């Protein structure tokens, strides 16, 4: 069923008219539209790129493509890591980055309405200026909010606030046939039929095109500080995580990282932030924990209680980052992990598996042993507070074919282990085209068929982001 039609000059003219001229073709189409940020999943060029400014333009373009069975790949900033924005079957890329307006705030209902191309950083900064906080905090600050919603991005603050899903109240969606519809509403709860809005969240552009979002916001915390906590080894660091949560300290962020990835990041940013040796004791792993409070006294109490707890649990020391510059330095190192790995690595792949926090140590021990069996170098870090682990496979000396073969063998084993301990294939980056096989093995055929059925209800002609998540056109 992969017999998608090619764009003719006549169809391009129709699309150009429908999109009010916002169409790129030929040499005007950058190679960037052929890939995302994980090139190991390949490249595929679109025949044209449409850059709409309005919902109505998206609607008119989708109707033409649906009537003529032209593949459409929605795309934001292209910062994905699973091939989700790669136009595998040609056709058009629907680039939403020019739909980048913050439409307005509803302060009484603590909500903001935005277009999908608004960058996360821009909304975060705009909220901050008004004493507000948009709680999701994905690592990639230059990602588009439409993409965040389409992958249900998680990020650093998920341990306290939840994922993007918890902050989407309403959306405007253009269906594959061009029909415009609305899911959800600006209310805090609902029990009104099937949750269509939750089908869209995490659907990676396979069910509809999001053209407007209403997002929940909260008052920004008054005081905030981070703790850099070195341990001798990863097991000691991870075993402390449940103790922090059980103590009801309610951290805003709770991250773990191994020493090697910290060293890579510090080389990349050109600044040493995390201590390597304390009183002669080598640090092998770290926790980075952020607390927020309503005033200085409450924050100090949290820091004191947390410091006492982690030192009793085996931490080597506790370093407090309680000024804007210290906070910036600590989180700059954490936020640069992916860029640091990419700067030092020729071939790269990643899994962002999620497991129950009680199984983090067991899973990472298994992953490290499996990497040795598969003769792979891996670097690990992640969200210790919610069990979302980022395990990067790296090589500077293998051929791409050999690297892919070893990574596949590695993934087969560690995803099976994740399923065994009650985990999932992806915590926040999605499935795209790169993880379909592993998702199928994890969920089983019944659940995959249910998802395929949903796909066909929304998109009978299978034109929208084909080859992603659960449906390969050849199936």
Provide CATH code, domain 9-97: 3.30.43.10
Angle 214-37-451 (CA atoms, 0-180°, nearest 5)? 55
- What's the confidence (pLDDT) of residue 328? 87
388 neighbors 428 (Cβ within 8 angstroms): yes
Q: Are strands 209-216 and 223-231 parallel, antiparallel or unpaired?
A: unpaired
This prediction's pTM: 0.94
Fold of 345-443: Alpha-Beta Plaits (3.30.70)
* pLDDT one-digit tens code per residue, 100-136: 999 999 999 999 999 999 999 999 999 999 999 999 9
Sign of the dihedral through C-alpha 83, 336, 362, 136: negative
C-alpha R_g of the chain: 23
Tokens representing 166 are 């918890």
Q: At a CB cut-off of 8 Å and minimum separation 6, what does 104 contact? A: 112, 113
90 neighbors 73 (Cβ within 8 angstroms): no
Distance CA 124, CA 132 (A): 9
What 8-state DSSP symbol labels residue 133?
E
- What's the confidence (pLDDT) of residue 474? 62
* pLDDT one-digit tens code per residue, 40-62: 999 999 999 999 999 999 999 99
Tokens representing 459 are 């998109």
Domain span(s) for CATH 3.30.43.10 in the chain: 9-97
SS3 384: coil
Domain span(s) for CATH 3.30.465.10 in the chain: 102-219
SS3 169: strand
Domain span(s) for CATH 3.30.70.2740 in the chain: 345-443
Closest to 473 (Cα-Cα) out of 4, 48, 83: 4
147 neighbors 77 (Cβ within 8 angstroms): yes
Angle 350-356-360 (CA atoms, 0-180°, nearest 5)? 60
Segment 208-226 mean pLDDT: 97
Whole-number average pLDDT of the chain: 95
Domain span(s) for CATH 3.30.70.2190 in the chain: 223-338
Torsion on CA atoms 341, 440, 458, 20, rounded to nearest 10: 30
35 neighbors 86 (Cβ within 8 angstroms): yes
CA 253, chain centre distance (Å): 16
Provide CATH code, domain 102-219: 3.30.465.10
**Tokens 């269906």, residue located:** 175
Distance CA 230, CA 320 (A): 12
Q: How confident is the model at residue 472 (pLDDT cuts 50, 70, 90)?
A: low
Provide CATH code, domain 223-338: 3.30.70.2190
SS3 84: coil
- What's the confidence (pLDDT) of residue 1? 46
Q: How confident is the model at residue 333 (pLDDT cuts 50, 70, 90)?
A: confident
Distance CA 74, CA 210 (A): 9
SS3 262: helix
- What's the confidence (pLDDT) of residue 324? 86
Distance CA 117, CA 467 (A): 23
* pLDDT one-digit tens code per residue, 124-177: 999 999 999 999 999 899 999 999 999 999 999 999 999 999 999 999 999 999
Q: E-strand spans in 48-97?
A: 48-50, 72-75, 92-95
């Amino acid at each position: 069923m992969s017999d998608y039609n090619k764009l003719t000059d006549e169809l391009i003219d129709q699309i150009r008219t429908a999109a009010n001229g916002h169409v790129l073709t030929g040499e005007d189409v950058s190679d960037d539209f052929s890939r995302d940020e994980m090139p190991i999943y390949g490249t595929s060029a679109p025949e044209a790129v449409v850059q709409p400014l309005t919902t109505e333009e998206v609607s008119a373009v989708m109707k033409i493509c649906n009537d003529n069975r032209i593949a459409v790949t929605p795309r934001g900033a292209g910062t994905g890591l699973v091939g989700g924005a790669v136009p595998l079957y040609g056709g058009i890329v629907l680039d939403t980055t020019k739909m980048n307006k913050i439409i307005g705030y509803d302060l009484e209902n603590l909500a903001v309405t935005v277009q999908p191309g608004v960058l996360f950083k821009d909304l975060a900064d705009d909220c901050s200026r008004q004493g507000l906080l948009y709680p999701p905090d994905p690592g990639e600050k230059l990602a588009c909010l439409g993409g965040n919603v389409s992958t249900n991005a998680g990020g650093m603050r998920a341990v306290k606030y939840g994922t993007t899903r918890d902050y989407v109240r309403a959306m405007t969606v253009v269906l594959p046939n061009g029909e415009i519809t609305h899911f959800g509403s600006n209310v805090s709860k609902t029990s009104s039929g099937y949750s269509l809005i939750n089908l869209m969240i995490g659907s990676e552009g396979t069910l509809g095109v999001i053209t407007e979002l209403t997002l929940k916001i909260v008052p920004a915390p008054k005081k905030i500080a981070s703790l850099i906590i070195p341990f001798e080894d990863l097991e000691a660091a991870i075993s402390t995580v449940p103790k922090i949560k059980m103590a009801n300290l309610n951290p805003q962020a709770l991250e773990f990282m191994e020493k090697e990835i910290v060293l890579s990041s510090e080389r990349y940013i050109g600044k040493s932030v995390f201590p390597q040796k304390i009183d002669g004791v080598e640090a092998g792993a770290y926790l980075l924990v952020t607390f927020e409070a309503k005033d200085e006294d409450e924050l100090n109490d949290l820091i004191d209680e947390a410091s006492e707890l982690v030192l009793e649990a085996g931490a080597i020391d506790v370093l407090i980052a309680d000024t804007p510059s210290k906070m910036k330095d600590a989180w700059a190192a954490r936020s640069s992990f992916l860029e640091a790995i990419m700067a030092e690595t020729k071939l790269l792949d990643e899994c962002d598996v999620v497991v129950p926090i009680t199984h983090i140590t067991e899973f990472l021990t298994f992953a490290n042993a499996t990497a040795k069996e598969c003769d792979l170098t891996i670097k690990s870090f992640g969200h210790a507070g919610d069990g979302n682990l980022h395990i990067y496979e790296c090589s500077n000396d293998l051929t791409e074919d050999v690297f892919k073969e070893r990574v596949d063998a590695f993934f087969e084993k560690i995803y099976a282990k994740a399923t065994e301990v009650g985990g999932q294939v992806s915590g926040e980056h999605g499935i795209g085209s790169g993880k379909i096989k592993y998702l199928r093995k994890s969920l089983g055929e019944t659940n995959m068929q249910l998802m395929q059925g949903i796909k066909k209800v929304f998109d009978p002609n299978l034109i929208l982001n084909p080859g992603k998540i659960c449906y390969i056109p050849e199936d």
